[in-house]
Structure 1
Amino acid sequence: MNKSLITLIVSGLLAANAQAAGQDNTWYAGAKLGWSNFYGADHNDAIKDAADISKEDDDDLGAGAFVGYQVNQNVGFELGYDWLGKYRYEVTDKLDPTMKDKDDVSAQMAQLTMKLGFPVADSLDLYGRLGGGYAWTDSRELDHDRGAVFVGALGAEYAIDRNWAARFEYQYTTPLGDMDLDQTGVELDNGLLAVGMLYRFGQEAPLPAVVPPPPPMPQPVEHTFSLSSDVLFDFNKATLKPEASQALDTLYSQIEAARPTDGMATVMGYTDRLGSDSYNQQLSEQRARTVADYLVGKGLPADKVQVQGMGESNPVTGDSCASGSKRELIVCLAPDRRVEVKVEGVSEMAQ
């Protein structure tokens, strides 16, 4: 086999990426071509006593075809036919050396083997085949001969793509023919060094890899809870009423249910417009602090709670309480007197 062909084969074996053995429970078929060599040839004693035998040519072209069933990645079975070529020799009569004749013995066989594969890469298998066959030899001068033979092979198989694969193997067969006087009178071993191609049927395309979607980006969230100061405090006071605990416990439960990751709670106190700005600012801070301390006592982390006094800013009544007695204004401005808790943070996943 010339070097350029060997280089081409080796280069091809390094160029693809598929499973060399094919998929489980699938069929394949192929053919091979190579160099057939007969060696260890021997003739029966009767022929050797009558003539001198000299080898002329023990090399020939060999070829074969096969079908196989791939059970799994490691085990398969093959049924094949091989043409092993011809062994040529010359016979010289010992009594009359001028009497010479040439003959040849052709050999062919059908074989059944088990194939054992050993993956060495995604697309490359080393394998061995063991089994037997039925061979027949034909000679121009002698009778035909038929019989059972042993077959063994070692090789490498490379997947070019999902369906096609290339082979390089050495196959040994012995014996071919026998030395009985009534038959061909020649027995020979054979070695077949061949390259081959095979096609695999029913190969399914691999399922595309499932790429999980990227995790959703955290989303900022904000919740605001509001309580009337009149529920929590007496008018113009910053001390909690006895009944305020029920409202604050409910508020705490709402905050806990809504609290996002790394959440911060800001407690903001508001007053109405009655009184001076400075007094209302101070009262709103005191009320916010009182509510914040209660919530921290219930379980909110102190370092996650801020306090802000908003004074009489951001009234919700607007211009609806323009006139009236002081008592009437106190009642009308009640919605302005409130405590709000704003909870901010990020959600663990987008909704």
Structure 2
Amino acid sequence: MLVANAQAAGQDNTWYAGAKLGWSNFYGVDHNDAIKDAADITDESNDALGAGAFAGYQINQNVGVELGYDWLGEYKYDVTDKLDPTMKGDDKVTAQMVQLTMKIGFPVADSLDLYGRLGGAYAWADSRELDNDDGAAFVGALGAEYAIDRNWATRLEYQYTTPLGDMDLDHTGVELDNGLLSIGMLYRFGQEAPEPVVVPPPMPEPTMVDQSFSLSSDVLFDFNKATLKPQASQALDTLYSQIEAARPKDGTATVMGYTDRLGADGYNQKLSEHRARTVADYLIGKGLPASKVQVQGMGESNPVTGSSCASGTKRELIVCLAPDRRVEVKVEGVSEVAQ
């Protein structure tokens, strides 16, 4: 295909015009009985050069109507008097016609169309020795049409026509059929460029989300409390924005509360749970699905400070152990691809 999406049949409701040239063959020749009785028919020349021009209207991809003129060439022969062989002469029958056919096409590829034409013609057959004969004829054709580009196409066609001439001695004295094998070129008018095909860029592949965010409890809560400070909302709003930026789809958020080692284990466990629940409720209020949020109280486990705060007054230990007092949020899931 030289041009993508070129249609051999052309676009609907458009006109076309073209010309053809090829080999014209006369066959099934039958002379008037009076001629055959009186003379020998010899040196018949059944082949000739044929040509034509045509114009058509493409109704849709499968159906069109075509009007054409064909010069079918000359059938030549010699006549020898049976009683006097010295009486010899030659004669010829020239044939031409105007035809109107319906064209039925069958696309086999974007640029290739197989078709048939069927209809009638008004034909003229002219014999040099006898009178002209004109009248109706039958026309049928089979062919293939190939689109070179959006406007130009070429076709290969075999056309059959019958009958031509008339055996009556008042006319050509000859009746014959014709087959025309031709190659043609045609131009299609009003062919519009196809709409460009816009291929959207491929969507990015989703990726796994596994992120953790940590906030100091001292930023969110007063010491030994589980109620949010007035200024805690700013830190939690920032945390919610970070979770949204990760765009987890059908993911889960686990909110874990931690305390320092000061105080009883059971008390610290409950305090860590309350702080985790307070942060989780805030995030749910901002928009996280409640069913996707889990709460865990971790108590004084997993201290960040390790053994660095071994001694000191209680006030000194509270300051030193501040990193252990924290709330962590772990987000897991698949990233939601932005539309």
Aligned to 2:196: 208
Aligned to 2:309: none
Amino acid at match of 1:33: L
Structure 1 residues 86 and 300, CA gap change in structure 2 (3 angstroms): closer
Structure 1 residues 213 and 15, CA gap change in structure 2 (3 angstroms): closer
Aligned to 2:253: 264
Amino acid at match of 1:65: A
Amino acid at match of 2:254: A
Aligned to 1:278: 261
Q: How far apart are the structure 2 equivalents of 1:165 and 1:308?
A: 84
Amino acid at match of 1:279: L
Amino acid at match of 1:200: R
CA shift, 1:180, in A, is 1.7
RMSD: 4.1
CA shift, 1:300, in A, is 4.4
Q: How many residues align?
A: 298
Aligned to 1:136: 124
CA shift, 1:203, in A, is 1.5
Q: What TM-score comes out, normalization by structure 2 length?
A: 0.72
CA shift, 1:139, in A, is 2.0
Whether 1:196 and 2:181 are equivalent positions in the alignment is no
Amino acid at match of 2:203: P
Whether 1:146 and 2:134 are equivalent positions in the alignment is yes
Q: Deviations over 1:211-246 (max 9, x none)?
A: 12333566979988989546xxxx747xx79xxxxx
Structure 1 stretch 281-290 or stretch 77-86: which is displaced more? Answer: 281-290
Q: How far apart are the structure 1 equivalents of 2:10 and 2:291?
A: 63
Q: How far apart are the structure 2 equivalents of 1:163 and 1:113?
A: 22
Structure 1 residues 269 and 101, CA gap change in structure 2 (3 angstroms): same
Q: How far apart are the structure 2 equivalents of 1:281 and 1:74?
A: 90
Aligned to 1:288: 272
Aligned to 1:160: 148
Q: Structure 1 unaligned segments of length 5 or more: list them.
A: 1-13, 242-250, 271-276, 314-325, 327-335
Does structure 2 retain, via aligned residues, the 8 Å contact 1:284–1:311?
Answer: no
Structure 1 residues 284 and 216, CA gap change in structure 2 (3 angstroms): farther
Q: What TM-score comes out, normalization by structure 1 length?
A: 0.70
Structure 1 residues 300 and 201, CA gap change in structure 2 (3 angstroms): closer
Does structure 1 retain, via aligned residues, the 8 Å contact 2:253–2:293?
Answer: no
Q: How far apart are the structure 1 equivalents of 2:155 and 2:71?
A: 18
Structure 1 stretch 304-313 or stretch 15-24: which is displaced more? Answer: 304-313
Amino acid at match of 2:181: L
Structure 1 residues 308 and 266, CA gap change in structure 2 (3 angstroms): farther
Q: How far apart are the structure 1 equivalents of 2:39 and 2:63?
A: 49
CA shift, 1:33, in A, is 0.9
Q: How far apart are the structure 2 equivalents of 1:112 and 1:89?
A: 30
Alignment of 1:58-137 (within 5 A): 58-137=46-125
Does structure 2 retain, via aligned residues, the 8 Å contact 1:88–1:102?
Answer: yes
CA shift, 1:281, in A, is 11
Structure 1 residues 15 and 203, CA gap change in structure 2 (3 angstroms): closer
Does structure 2 retain, via aligned residues, the 8 Å contact 1:266–1:307?
Answer: no
Does structure 1 retain, via aligned residues, the 8 Å contact 2:130–2:169?
Answer: no
Does structure 1 retain, via aligned residues, the 8 Å contact 2:270–2:297?
Answer: no
Alignment of 1:43-54 (within 5 A): 43-54=31-42
Q: How far apart are the structure 2 equivalents of 1:130 and 1:204?
A: 29
**Secondary structure of 1:46's partner?**
helix
Structure 1 residues 344 and 306, CA gap change in structure 2 (3 angstroms): farther
Amino acid at match of 1:53: I
Structure 1 stretch 92-101 or stretch 31-40: which is displaced more? Answer: 92-101
Q: Deviations over 1:1-36 (max 9, x none)?
A: xxxxxxxxxxxxx77753211111111111111110
Structure 1 residues 265 and 165, CA gap change in structure 2 (3 angstroms): same
Aligned to 2:24: 36
Q: How far apart are the structure 2 equivalents of 1:266 and 1:91?
A: 114
Q: How far apart are the structure 1 equivalents of 2:213 and 2:30?
A: 100
